[in-house]
Amino acid sequence: MKTILPTLRGRWAILLFIVLVAVAITALLPPIPQPQSYHQFTDARTMFGIPRALDVLSNLPFAAVGLLGLFAALRNLRVQAPRAQQLAWLTLFAGLLLTGFGSGYYHLGNSMASELFTAILFFPVIFGFLFYGVPRGWLQTVASWVSKT
């Protein structure tokens, strides 16, 4: 039995349509209010001249793992690993490094703006994990569907 698939351009159009519909639905939803009391969970103690020191310093492991992972990933670029895998690892560890700094910045500033900054810096971690850390069977299925000619 012969399957009928849309053309390559049609498949990309379908994926783009799904993304645009999701973005449109999200844009139409009302904002989710977050009370200012949300930011009062942080440690209020100052250590080494750093306000909320334990919350700020607790982000050092993220930055350390990100930095060590970046060094390891960059050193292994010479290894015969698939390019997509190398990019996923670089994205994941760069995201962890940025998250460590961004979350530390949030705990220093402790505001909605600094929380948004931290969330934006976390996106590389999500994408790095999504494209390598998740069991990739369904991603390979989508990729093969999109790239079939």
Query: Which tops the pLDDT comparison, 44 or 125?
Result: 44
pLDDT of residue 143: 60
57: how many CB neighbours lie within 10 A of its CB? 15
pLDDT (tens digit, 9 = 90+) per residue, 80-131? 667 767 777 788 888 889 888 888 888 887 666 667 777 777 777 776 666 6
- Which residue type occupies 121? L
pLDDT of residue 61: 94
140: how many CB neighbours lie within 10 A of its CB? 10
